Structure 1
Amino acid sequence: MPKSPNTNLRILLQEADWSGTQLAIAVRHMAAERGQQVSCGQSTVSRWLSGTTPRPPMPALLLGVLSRRLQRPVTASEAGLSRTPVHGSDVFDLSWEADPLRRLSLLTGSDLDPSRRHLLGAGMFSLAALAVPDAWPTPEKSPAGPPPRTARARGRAGGAEVAQMQTMARMFAEAAEAHGPGHVRTALAAYLHHDVTGYLHAPAGEEAHRRLLSGAAQLSLLLGTMCAGSGADALAQRYHHTAAHLATEADDTTTFAIALRTMSAHAHDLGHHTPAVLNLAQRATDATRHAAPIICAYAQAHLAVMQAHHDKHAALTALTASEHLYEQERAAPGPFSHYPAGALHYQRAQTLAALGDRTGASRALTTSLRLRAPGERQARTLTRARLAETLLAQGHLEQALTHWQTFLDDYPTLHSTRTTHRLHAMRQLLHPHRRHHATAHLLAQAATLH
C-alpha cells in the first residue's frame, strides 16, 4: 500500500456511516469473537487512512467488520489494502458476477502454493456472503480470461470424466470420514486444480459440460466441508459459495440445494442462528421441490435444526416432514445421493436439544450412534461425544464417562478440528468433577492428546 491517503478505506467508512472510533470498536469486538486481543483505537484508524499498512491480523478483521456492516463481501483491493488485484482479489471475490471456474482454479492453486496460501488465511467467515440471488444469474466472465488450460484439456471431455469424478467424490468422502479431513484435503484440492479444471475447459457437448460442472460443484462442496473440518472456515465458505455458483451454471437444482443447505449448516456450526442463516436453510428446501425424497429429507432435517432457534412448531413440522420423506425412498450409496439414518437422528437430536428437550436429544443420539455404519468413523466419534455431553447435562456422569472413554480411544485416528473441539469441551465439562476417580483418570488420558 503506498504512503498516500487510503481513499478507498475512507469511502467505505462513509458508506458504512462509521467514524474512525466506531470502526475501531467493531474491530476489537470481532477480534474478541475470534478469541483474539488487539489494540485498536481512533488513532490506529487514522494511521490506516493516512496510508499505513495494517499488520496481521488487522487486515482480516478490517475486511470482516466492513463486510458485516455493508452486508456484502469487501475485498482487500476494494479497501485499499492491496496494490495488486491479481490472484488475491479474485480469490476473495464472492460476488455472483465473478466467474466461478476462474475462482475455483485460483482457490485451489493458492491452496496448493505455499507462497500464496497466506492469502486464503486473510479473510474471515462472513454472514454477508450468505446472500444468494433469487434468480439464477449468468456470470460475466473475468476480463482476464479463464485460467490456463492444462495439457489434459486438449482432448474432449465427456462421460468417462464424469464417471471418474463421481468415483473420486466417493473415495474422497469415504477417506475423510474414515481418517478425518486433514489427511485428505490437499489431495482433493490437487485433483480439482490439476484434473477437474482441465476437464471444464476441454471441448465437450452441452449436456456433458453440464454434468462436468455438476461434478465440479460436488467436489468443491466436499473440499469446502473438509476445510471447515480443518478449521479453515473462511476458505470453506469460498469453496461452498463457488460450488453453489457452479451448480447454477450446470442447471443442477439438486446440487444447488445441497450447497445452500451446506452453507447454512456451516454457519450454524459456527454458532450463527440468525434469520439470514434460517433463510438460507429455507431456500435450500425450496430448491428441492423437484428433487428426490431423500434430498428433500436432507434439507428439511437441517431446516428443523434452524427453526428450533426461532419457532418450535415450525421446527417440529419440518422434522416430521423430514422423517416422512426419508421413509419414501432408499437411494443408491454416494455422498450426494444417500442420507444415512444415523445423520437423520443426529439432526433430530440437534433440534430437540435446541428446544430444550435433553431427554429426547439423548434418545435420538443413542439411536444415531446405533445406526452409524462402520465407515462413518468421524460421525460416530462426534455423535458419541455429543451423547456424553448430553448425558452429563442430565446428571449421568458414569454413563457419560463410558462414552468419553471410547471417544478418546478413537480420537487419535482422526485429523479433524471438530473432534479437537469436542476434546476441549470434554476437558471443560469434566473439570468440576476432577476429584472423581474415574474422571481424573480420563482427564489424565486426555491431557496427552492434542
Structure 2
Amino acid sequence: MNEPNDVLAALIVQAGWSWAGLARRVNELAASEGQALRYDYTAVNRWVKKGERPRPPVPTFIARSLSERLGRRVAPSDFGMPDVETLAARGLAYGGSPLQTAETIIDLGRADMKRRHVIKAPFVLAALGAPSRDWLLSTLDEMSTERGPRQVGMRQVAGMRDMFALFQEMDVMRGGGHARTALIEYMSSYVVPLLKRDHQPAVERALYEASAELAYLIGWMAYDDGEHGLAQRYLIQALHLAQASGSAPLGAHVLAGLSDQANLLGHPHEALMLARAGRHGLAENESFACMADLHVLEARALAALGDESAAGRAITRAESTFNRVVHADEPEWAKFIDAPYLLGEVAHCFRDLSQVSELERFAKESAEGARQQGRARRGALSHAVLAVGDLTRNDIESAAAKGIQVVNLAASVNSTRCIATVRDLQHRMKPYSGVPEVQQFNARAQELLGLAA
C-alpha cells in the first residue's frame, strides 16, 4: 500500500481548496483541453490518504489548480507525481509568458541530462502549424508599429552572447553531441535566474533574444544528435522567446531550423511551409544570411517534392541574396551561413533532383571550403553527396573512396547526422557489396564507427 501523500495534503490546505473544489477544478481544466474527467472528493481522498497516483495528464491538472490558488508554480514532481508525458506535451505548446517558456526549456534540459523518457518523445508533425502561424501573425503585427532603437551592450546579455558564440563554434567544429549538457547547465544555472529578475523593457527584450539564441542552439545540438522529438520541443520554445524579444530575424532563423528538421525526417510539405513562413516574417534587409538560408531550405523542400523548376528558382534567389551578405553585419547565430554551408545545401538539392553535373560542382566547392575551415561535419555531408553522384554515374570505386572520406570525417565529430549519412551510403552501395572498394568502405565504417554493412 502506498504511503499517504502528506505534501499534496499540505498544498491543498495552503491553497484553500476543499477536496471537492480541487476535483471540480481538475475536471474543468481537463474539459478545456477536450478531456472528460469525472473526479469528485473521493478521488482526492485516494490521492491524499492512499497515495494513489492518477495517470498523466491528471497530475498536471492538479498542479495547475494548485498553482492558480497559490500564485506560484507547482509541478507534479513537487507532490510526488509523474510529469514525463506532460512535459513532452508542454514542450510542443506555443504560448504563455516568456518565463514559463524558459521554465519549460529548463525542465526539458533536466530530463535531457537525466536521460528521462521525454528524450524519446516523438517528433509530432501536427505541432508545427500553430507555432509558425502564431509567430508570423505576431511578427507581421509588430512590423506595423514604431519601435525605438534597442538598448545593447548590457553586461549580462554580452556575456550570454559570448557564451553562445563559444558553444556554436563547438557545435560547428565538433558536432551537436559534444557540449549540449554543458550548455543546458549554463542555461539552467545562469540564464533563467536572470530572466526571473525585473528589468527595464529594453534589457528584458535583449535577455529574451539572447535566451532564444541559446535555446535554439540546444535544440539544434539535439537535432544533430538525432534526438528529434526533443529538438522539436526546444525549437518551439526558442521560437516563442524570439517572438517575446521582438527579433523577427531570430524567429525566422528558428523556423529555418524547424524546416531543415522536417525535410530531413521526410516531411517536405511542412518544411516548405516553415521556410515560407520565415521568409514572409522577415524584411528583406534585416538579415541577408537568414533570408538566403530560408530560400535554400525552400529549395531543399521543393527538390524533395520533385519540383525541379521551382527548386531552381529558389536556388537562384538564395544565391543572389547570399551575394549581398556582409558577415560583419550579421548576428552571431548567422555566422555559420557561409559559402561551404550554402553550396552544400544547394548540392543536396541537385542530389535529390538527380542532376549529377550540378551536384558535383556545388559539392566540390563546399567540401573544399569545409576542408580549409576544418569543418568535418560539413565536409562529411558534402563528400557524401559526391559519393551519391559517383553512384549515379555508376562509378562504384570512386563512390566507395569518397565514402571512406566520409567515414574518416564522421569519426572526428559527435554527430548522429554524420552517422546517418554513412548509413545512407552503406544502403546505397549494398547492391555492389561484392566490389572490393565497397568492402573496404564497409570495413572502415565498422572499424571507426561500429557500423556493420
TM-score (norm 2): 0.73
Question: What is the match of residue 135 of structure 1?
Answer: 137
Alpha-carbon shift at residue 120 of structure 1 (Å): 1.6
Question: What is the match of residue 371 of structure 1?
Answer: 369
CA distance in 2, matches of 1:207, 1:254: 17
User: Which one of 310, 313, 320 corresponds to residue 314 of structure 1?
Assistant: 310
Alpha-carbon shift at residue 249 of structure 1 (Å): 0.4
Counterpart amino acid of residue 285 in structure 1: R
Alpha-carbon shift at residue 228 of structure 1 (Å): 0.9
- Mapping 1:296-307, distance limit 5 Å: 296-307=291-302
Question: What is the match of residue 325 of structure 1?
Answer: 321
Q: Does 1:222 align with 2:202?
A: no
Alpha-carbon shift at residue 91 of structure 1 (Å): 5.2
Counterpart amino acid of residue 273 in structure 2: N
Alpha-carbon shift at residue 345 of structure 1 (Å): 1.0
CA deviations over 1:272-294 (Å, ceiling 9, x no partner): 112x3311110111122241222
CA shift in 2, pair 1:293/1:179, >3 Å: closer
User: Quick check: 1:158–1:205 contact (8 Å CA) kept in 2?
Assistant: no
Secondary structure, counterpart of 2:226 in structure 1? coil
Alpha-carbon shift at residue 231 of structure 1 (Å): 1.4
Q: Does 1:357 align with 2:337?
A: no
Secondary structure, counterpart of 1:271 in structure 2? coil
CA distance in 1, matches of 2:108, 2:241: 19
- Mapping 1:15-94, distance limit 5 Å: 76-77=56-57, 86=75, 88=83, 89-90=86-87, 92-93=89-90, 94=92
User: Which one of 200, 210, 213 corresponds to residue 205 of structure 1?
Assistant: 200
Question: What is the match of residue 56 of structure 1?
Answer: none
Alpha-carbon shift at residue 113 of structure 1 (Å): 5.2
Counterpart amino acid of residue 77 in structure 1: P
Secondary structure, counterpart of 1:256 in structure 2? helix
Question: What is the match of residue 407 of structure 1?
Answer: 406
User: Quick check: 1:300–1:321 contact (8 Å CA) kept in 2?
Assistant: yes
Q: Does 1:264 align with 2:256?
A: no
User: Which one of 177, 181, 187 corresponds to residue 192 of structure 1?
Assistant: 187
Alpha-carbon shift at residue 337 of structure 1 (Å): 4.3
Question: What is the match of residue 229 of structure 2?
Answer: 234
CA shift in 2, pair 1:83/1:385, >3 Å: farther
Task: Looking at secondary structure, tell me which structure has more helix per residue.
Answer: 2
Q: Does 1:252 align with 2:247?
A: yes
CA shift in 2, pair 1:362/1:158, >3 Å: closer
User: Quick check: 1:227–1:233 contact (8 Å CA) kept in 2?
Assistant: yes
CA distance in 2, matches of 1:400, 1:82: 56
CA distance in 2, matches of 1:341, 1:405: 24
Question: What is the match of residue 285 of structure 1?
Answer: 279
CA distance in 1, matches of 2:440, 2:202: 60
CA shift in 2, pair 1:307/1:111, >3 Å: same
CA distance in 2, matches of 1:297, 1:350: 15
Alpha-carbon shift at residue 427 of structure 1 (Å): 2.4
Secondary structure, counterpart of 1:135 in structure 2? helix
User: Quick check: 1:368–1:383 contact (8 Å CA) kept in 2?
Assistant: yes
Counterpart amino acid of residue 417 in structure 1: T
Alpha-carbon shift at residue 402 of structure 1 (Å): 2.2
CA shift in 2, pair 1:82/1:356, >3 Å: farther
Structure 2 unaligned regions, length at least 5? 1-26, 36-54, 65-74, 77-82, 140-151
CA shift in 2, pair 1:244/1:110, >3 Å: closer
CA distance in 1, matches of 2:380, 2:388: 13
User: Quick check: 1:382–1:419 contact (8 Å CA) kept in 2?
Assistant: yes
CA distance in 2, matches of 1:405, 1:286: 41
CA shift in 2, pair 1:366/1:197, >3 Å: same
CA shift in 2, pair 1:83/1:208, >3 Å: closer
CA distance in 1, matches of 2:353, 2:212: 34
Alpha-carbon shift at residue 251 of structure 1 (Å): 0.5
Secondary structure, counterpart of 2:236 in structure 1? helix
Question: What is the match of residue 442 of structure 2?
Answer: 443
Alpha-carbon shift at residue 194 of structure 1 (Å): 0.9
Secondary structure, counterpart of 1:121 in structure 2? helix
Give me the CA root mean square deviation: 3.1
Q: Does 1:427 align with 2:392?
A: no
CA shift in 2, pair 1:107/1:217, >3 Å: closer
Alpha-carbon shift at residue 171 of structure 1 (Å): 0.9
Counterpart amino acid of residue 425 in structure 2: M
Question: What is the match of residue 35 of structure 1?
Answer: none
User: Which one of 278, 289, 296 corresponds to residue 294 of structure 1?
Assistant: 289
CA distance in 2, matches of 1:125, 1:100: 23
CA distance in 1, matches of 2:120, 2:275: 27
User: Which one of 112, 121, 124 corresponds to residue 123 of structure 1?
Assistant: 121
Alpha-carbon shift at residue 227 of structure 1 (Å): 0.4
CA distance in 2, matches of 1:129, 1:402: 41
Counterpart amino acid of residue 57 in structure 2: S
Question: What is the match of residue 348 of structure 1?
Answer: 346
CA distance in 2, matches of 1:116, 1:340: 35
Question: What is the match of residue 238 of structure 2?
Answer: 243
TM-score (norm 1): 0.73
Secondary structure, counterpart of 2:333 in structure 1? coil
Counterpart amino acid of residue 99 in structure 2: L
